[in-house]
Structure 1
Amino acid sequence: MAWFSFTGTDPSQSSHYTLVASQPTCPGLTQRMCALQAMNDGSNNPVITDALKDEIINSLQNQVNGTNVKLKAR
């Protein structure tokens, strides 16, 4: 599994992430998407499964980090 920083506008689109070397820190606006951990699709994009989409939605709606989803800190 690899870490990907959120660099776009749509958390459910793999092209809106950038592969990073390690889990990123997340300064800035609070409780916004920061990063996720997923399998690399071979083109340095995350594989966003239905389960991972559900985790993204849950994290954003409840403003909590998930196992594979990291939000910007409060």
Structure 2
Amino acid sequence: MPRKRGPGTTDSDLLVINKVDIAPCARADIAMMRRDAARFRGNRPFVLTDCLSGHGMRAVADHLTSMFRGRPA
């Protein structure tokens, strides 16, 4: 959760917020997570994903590919 400001939120190259498909079941507010991530990370990237359906996975793959090739995402 971005709101907790853990090292994954503040120090990672890419913050991946996964399982957004089940967020309503856990009473998690996706819009709030998005706002918090943007606020706490500044212009550092983050992506909301659902690995089961593939939502957001292209952005993760593109980011990793660009890092592997030595270019910023």
TM-score in terms of structure 1 length: 0.34
Which has more radius of gyration?
Answer: 2
**Structure whose residues are more often strand by fraction:** 1
TM-score in terms of structure 2 length: 0.35
User: Which structure ranks higher in relative contact order (CA pairs < 8 Å, sequence separation ≥ 6)?
Assistant: 1
